[in-house]
Amino acid sequence: MKQIGIYTLLFIAFYLLLSLHTQAQIDEDLRKIIENKEYNIGGQPLFCKKTLPEFYYNRGFQRAWTNEDNITELIEQIKLAPEEGLYTEDYHYEYLKENYKGLASITPALDILLTDAYLLYASHLLSGKVNPEKVVAEWQVNKKEMDLKLLLSESLEDIKIARSLNGLKPKYKTYVRLKKALKLYRTIEKNGGWRAIDQGETLRAGMVDTRIEQIRSRLFVTGDISTDKTDSLNLFDSTLEEAIKVFQKRHGLEPDGAIGRTTLAILNEPVEKRIEQIILNMERCRWLPLDLGEHYILVNIANYQLEVVKNGQLEMEMSVVVGKPYRKTPVFSNKMMYLVFNPYWTVPPTIFANDVLPAIKKNTGYLKAQNMKVVSGNVEIDPSSIAWAEVTPKNFPYQIRQDPGPNNALGQVKFIFPNAYNVYMHDTNHRELFSKTDRALSSGCIRLSKPIDMAEYVLKNHPAGWPREKIDKTVSKEKNLTVMLSEEIYVHLLYWTSFVDEHDRINFRKDIYERDGILWKAMQQGPPSI
């Protein structure tokens, strides 16, 4: 019994010593700052009002920044924030640089500011500075989840601050290429940008004009032409024509080689505007999921283009038609689940009100001519029993459904990836739209230029076997048929107004939904609290 008592006393003494040691590690000044919610330190507002207190609670109010290498790495990483299209002032850079003079200068307040800087910068690298759902109604993101408090704790312990922050940066090729383009265009800006070209008549190959020299110089700055020197500076020669075509392709214009009003206006866009576009689309990259998947379909709405990628390789691409500016195609990601051959088309309320109902009132034979029926659920209603003159969009109790066939608005096939917007990809009976340069012409869904090719692709490994001959035969029967997919494939609907193509050329596109200005304004504001 005496022996047990001695061991018990020793244990109690050890516990008391441990408690005293632990208690000694608590920084009371730091604790008071946290508990008193002092969200402004030395004129520097704290942004991580939720995560920062939790970080210090978890470590018993011990100071975090006790290693000089960790502090140096953090300040150096923040200094590089502009390379990511972010702003050093959001992360207390100037204050930290001026007030950090070695470990002896680390006060509780400075420790807290370092933590706030890390957590905020890490959050912006991971998920973006701006919450897209708060600035764009038609934008849905799958928010990336990560315990940044734990990441910071582990990074401090292992002296891996720089590595942990670099690990949060997007790895997508679009982001990496835009980052390189940002560096190039900032160099162009530093060197004076480019001069505006004088206004005048449309210029074409073979013409002589004093503005040609200006145009050569402008194209040389952005690498669209290899030299601005020539024996005939004012002659619009074939070399210049090809350079203009390259420029037009980079900007989503019809590459006709002529310098008309639209091409001239885009040539005269200042370098600062292009830098803004690059920064905005780097931010949009940060909104994407951590992993796009090994197999996915990517639609760039602003570029009217679709790509299919598998294991990093481009498998297929095609032109698309997207929503009109007043019926915008939303941005989101989801899995494609099934496709429907010879789909029915249920007329949406807006199209019924604006197009179909007025047409019926003008011509009662409109429904039959368009292969449409009036239905209530699965029950067909005789259109002659309806007093169409009295019908309004609000009092009409039925639906208008178009049967499968050559005139069906959805064409021969539609592809479903369930979402809250009821948006999908489909064929169209208006093939002429794909010859247009601006293709924001749909009611929100994505129309495919090669829908049967897409059907063949997504069904090529289906256990039931779906060769092209079987698909063509199925379509020709004009009977509705649903086929569930056997392979997982993601669909990412994106909105990029600048990107770098496979030829390593920076591309810019018209902001068809006027989203750039709204996002740029949000990017210039102080960061929201996290």
Cα–Cα separations (whole angstroms), residue 127 to 155, 214, 286, 503, 530: 19, 42, 5, 28, 12
Among the listed residues 48, 124, 445, 492, the single catalytic one is: 445
DSSP state of 208: B
CA-based nearest residue to 527, from 359, 194, 283, 239: 283
One-letter amino acid of 145: E
One-letter amino acid of 451: P
What is the rounded CA–CA span in Å between residue 343 and residue 392?
A: 27
Q: Are 488 and 335 in contact (CB under 8 A)?
A: yes
Q: Are 424 and 332 in contact (CB under 8 A)?
A: no
CA-based nearest residue to 310, from 458, 196, 185, 167: 458
Q: Helix (H, G, I), strand (E, B), or coil: what is residue 412?
A: coil
DSSP state of 472: H
CA-based nearest residue to 267, from 304, 305, 222: 222
Burial class (CB within 10 angstroms; exposed 0-12, middle 13-18, buried 19+) of 123 = buried
Q: Helix (H, G, I), strand (E, B), or coil: what is residue 460?
A: coil
CA-based nearest residue to 226, from 205, 211, 240: 240
Q: Are 362 and 388 in contact (CB under 8 A)?
A: no
| 92 flagged as catalytic | no
What are the start-end ranges of the H helices in 447-511? 451-458, 468-476
Which H, E and C letters describe 309-338, residue by residue?
A: EECCEEEEEEEEEEECCCCCCCEEEEEEEE
Burial class (CB within 10 angstroms; exposed 0-12, middle 13-18, buried 19+) of 210 = exposed
| 295 flagged as catalytic | no
How many Å from the N-terminal Cα to the C-terminal Cα in the chain? 57
Among the listed residues 92, 124, 251, 426, the single catalytic one is: 426
What is the distance of C-alpha 196 from the center of its chain? 31
Q: Are 164 and 151 in contact (CB under 8 A)?
A: yes
Active-site residue list = 426, 445
